[in-house]
Chains A and B, each alone.
Chain A
Amino acid sequence: MRLVEGMTGPEIAVATGLTHGTVRVYLHEGMRLLRSSLSTTESTGGA
């Protein structure tokens, strides 16, 4: 919702009914997983 739809954290909180704190945690965790996935792809020669 943040990177694809371009919604901000507060907008995500309103749309999902989650608290701001929960959304922050999800955003951090999402970025971590995305970095890990991209790093893995680069190390194996993936696109």
Chain B
Amino acid sequence: MDYMGFIIAIFLPWVLGVACLKAIWTNKQEYSLAMFIGYGYLFGIIATILFIWLWDAAGFKQHFWLQSTLLITATAFLYWLHRKNTWQTTTQRWRNQEVWEKFLWLLFFVLVAIRLSAIFQEILLRPLYPWDAWWHYAPPARIWSYWQELTPIIHPDNWLSSGDPKIYTLDAWSKPLGIPLINYWTISGIGHWDDILMNLPWFLCVLALGFGMYGQLRLVHIAPLHSIIAVYLLLSMPLLDTHVELAGYADIWLATCYGFAAMSLMLWLKNRNPAQLIVFIILSAAAPIFKIPGIYWSLTLLPVLILSLMSNRHRLYAIIICIAILLAFFLIGGINLNLPYIGAHSLTYHDVWASVAKNLLVFDNWHLYWYLLPVAMFFGFKKEFRDVLDMAGFVLIFINLFFLYMVFFWTEKYIWALDSTTINRATLHLMPIFVFTTIVLLRKNNRLHGSTANNFVPTGTNTTPT
């Protein structure tokens, strides 16, 4: 095994991503190191995927060391270019907390570490296991690593008449390239096929998810203790853990990408930091490279953006219109849609409440989260949306729940609710932003949360944040 190549394949995207974020982050804006670490990995993975794809589109043969050299050069250049950027840490200092807060912070940190340690060991021992992973996402990587190019994968009907040994057919012919390219990149670094080490990016993804969410919560001025509790709540969810331990599926990546995009949108609505807006745009556009439903999830952020910027009166009108349309569906008894790319869908009501309730409230997919959510939404409502974050959070939850409702109650996808398959994987995509929003809604507005005041520290250099 090529150890150097493996280390570069694993960590270069991370370093590259942080460099990209530093380039985006406007001078003298608030920042959080944890947020940079978390978002940086996702940015780096996306940049690496795009780089490999563009390289192939330009007609070049894949070459790991040449590509790595160029990426390392780009990374170094970005760091050098923005070496004089300075940012502000405005967050409450960890060390200024009460003793009990520090104790609990460490407790939850240790609990997260214990969880991740079990996951890490499982990933490093078990060969590729879940179905879609070895059927959709791993085979293209293996094929490309053999041929050193992104050979075409075509529809089965066309393969039989093809005859070319370089043209393959898999179900993956219709899937996005994101996950196969992540696999391919890692295998390229290793130097040979290894469907165990290939799964390490899934662990790094959940690590990045934890860091990113923690950092963004700190930028909302949520206290360190509450931020680490939010990370614990998210990373302790059994189905999320399962998707990392049985690595290979695209869902955790989409959850991270969509979650980060939505968090950035909310932070921009709050602070008008242009960097957050840029991050939101990039990640929303990137979500579909992991999974096709990323398109729909990204589109749900548009109404969040629009409604959050509306005045209260216009927002009320918009909500009334939505309710009126929904009532019309009920009265008509269904409608058939035939939309480009989305295809034909018959919108007819299916009563799957029992199955949905079972998956959200009875099974242990999400622990007690779905019992907490109504409480959080009640608190958000009670605060009368004086803060734009509360408004955006409430709207986001409402729109996403509405979207899930339409998909699983009004389309033929109700089958996936009945057999407990896609309903949970679709819900997983929402969990990071839902947990983030829950903590935001539960926070007290317009005052500092936690035991001590914020220590606002305008800095002249990149200081270590809390």
Is the pairing of A and B real? no
Give A contacts to B, CB under 8 Å.
none
